[in-house]
Structure 1
Amino acid sequence: MRNGRFITFEGGEGAGKSTQIRRLAAALRAAHAREVVTTREPGGTPLAERLRAIILAGKARDLGDFGEALLFSAARIDHIDRIIRPALARGAYVLCDRFADSTRAYQGARGGAGENMLTTLERVTLDGVRPDLTFILDLPPEVGLARAEKRRGQGGIDRFEGEAVAFHAVLREKFLEIARAEPERCRVIDAVKPEEDVAEAIFSACREKWPHTSTEEKKWA
């Protein structure tokens, strides 16, 4: 039985996913009596965090796009089993910074992992756990990479931030393709706008998706 609500945040580098998750989590906690769980991919569990460190350090790059997709999927299976599925069963809101759409977009951007292989891998990995609502934070890659560099400061770039701008342009289109293919689930948000405007667009979409609340919840703000 699943009673919770699963919301994912997707987009390229520097799109502001983590910031918007924090804002939505705070708004949901203020408006509802439900538990709110925030998590991320790759990551969320000790095993998945170890795999995250390996992938983002570029140590799995020689495995190729499909090899990286397999590692992401291994992390995702552990994440679903230990964090996401139990939280949804409890009736919680689960807000996740990246999920399966990121694997489809990133590992599919160069064409090294075939669409059919990624689709099959996704189906096996998710085992029926899919987002109810996905926000794709959209912005030009040059803007996102500049934001990521500013956020990073003197720290080193990770595996994907180091890709050429052309890769990030293809990545952006991959996310938009996903949104066009699944309009009932996906909402494209203009992430170039000020943080407050982006947050309001996200919260408005949640109100639209779930306009009615149960007796134990407060009214939407």
Structure 2
Amino acid sequence: MGKFITFEGPDGAGKTTVLKNVVERLKTSKFEMADFVITREPGGSKVSNQIRDIVLNQVDANIDINTEVLLFAAARRQHVVEKIVPALTDGKTVISDRFLDSSVAYQGGGRQFGLDKVLDINQYATGGLEPDVTFYLKLEPEVGLKRINTTRTGEINRLDEENMNFYRRTVKAYDQIIESNPQRFVVVDANRPLPQVVDEVWSKFLNVM
């Protein structure tokens, strides 16, 4: 079996940008890119991307919380069976921009659905699959929201438009997840300039490979 590595963090932490930089370094390193599968959630497969369009659409802002949780889990299920597990079975390293922890933090904590309830639903959806290593970019919610509003030029989705209390609950939920799984997480301070964050993540990434 290959290794499963995920990247997590609150909105504005620069997670996706850091991951892109890590991938660029991989291309010029000793590693063979054919041994890696880079993916994201929600998404990662045709069906999962279609679900992504539903749950993150700014117009459809009145999705019931139960529906939202189940849709994220459904997208994850398809992602796991169609892309992640086959790649791991082939001995490849799978790197995903978000996974189960995001649902537990955002829906369980941010939406106040309940961390354990979201975890139970997603344990069924993933068949118990968990990452081997999770890089968490730690950032205060106030800083993250400011970054979203002032610097983000890419996708702005429905979750980016929540209030500050939502983000505080989400970050608190992440802290609880990390406290329960300290051996799995590599926590990186994302308050610093991007090059410093990328350098630290890359160094620690090499240590876990």
> How far 1:21 moved relative to its partner?
1.2
The higher radius of gyration belongs to 1
Change (3 A) 1:86 1:60: farther
Instruction: Give the TM-score normalised by structure 1.
Output: 0.85
Q: Does 2:52 match 1:84?
A: no
Structure 2 CA distance for aligned equivalents of residues 82 and 133 of structure 1 = 21
Q: Does 1:37 align with 2:41?
A: no
- Report the equivalent of 1:63: 64
Q: Deviations over 1:16-56 (max 9, x none)?
A: 11111112223334132362211110011111111111111
Equivalences for residues 152-191 of structure 1 within 5 A: 152-153=152-153, 157-191=156-190
Instruction: State the SS of the aligned residue for 2:94.
Output: strand
Give CA deviations for 1:6-25 in whole Å, capped at 9, x if unaligned.
11111111111111111222
Provide, for residues 144-176 of structure 1, a one-character-per-residue CA deviation record: whole Å limited to 9, x for no partner: 1222223444x8842111110111111111111
Unaligned runs of 5+ in 2: none
Q: Give the RMSD, CA atoms, in angstroms.
A: 2.0
Which shifted more, 103-112 or 82-91? Answer: 103-112
TM score, norm. by length of structure 2: 0.90
Opposite residue 143 of structure 2, the aligned amino acid is V
Q: Is the 8 A contact 2:108 2:116 kept in 1?
A: no
Following superposition, the deviation at residue 139 of structure 1 comes to 0.9
In structure 2, the partner of 1:98 is 98
Moved more, 114-123 or 81-90: 114-123
Which one is further off, 22-31 or 122-131? Answer: 22-31
Give aligned pairs, total: 206
Runs of 5+ unmatched residues, structure 1: 211-221
CA distance in structure 1 between the partners assigned to 2:191 and 2:208 by the alignment: 23
Give the match for residue 20 of structure 1. Answer: 18
2:7 equivalent to 1:9: yes
Distance 1:146 1:116, change over 3 A: closer
* Distance in 2, Cα, partners of 1:45 & 1:24: 22
Match of 2:74 in 1: 74
Q: After the TM superposition, list the runs of 4 or more consecutive aligned residues in structure 1 that deviate by more than 3 angstroms.
A: 150-153
Question: What residue number does 1:127 align with?
Answer: 127
CA contact (8 A) 1:61 1:68 kept: no
- Between 191-200 and 99-108, the greater mean CA deviation after superposition: 191-200
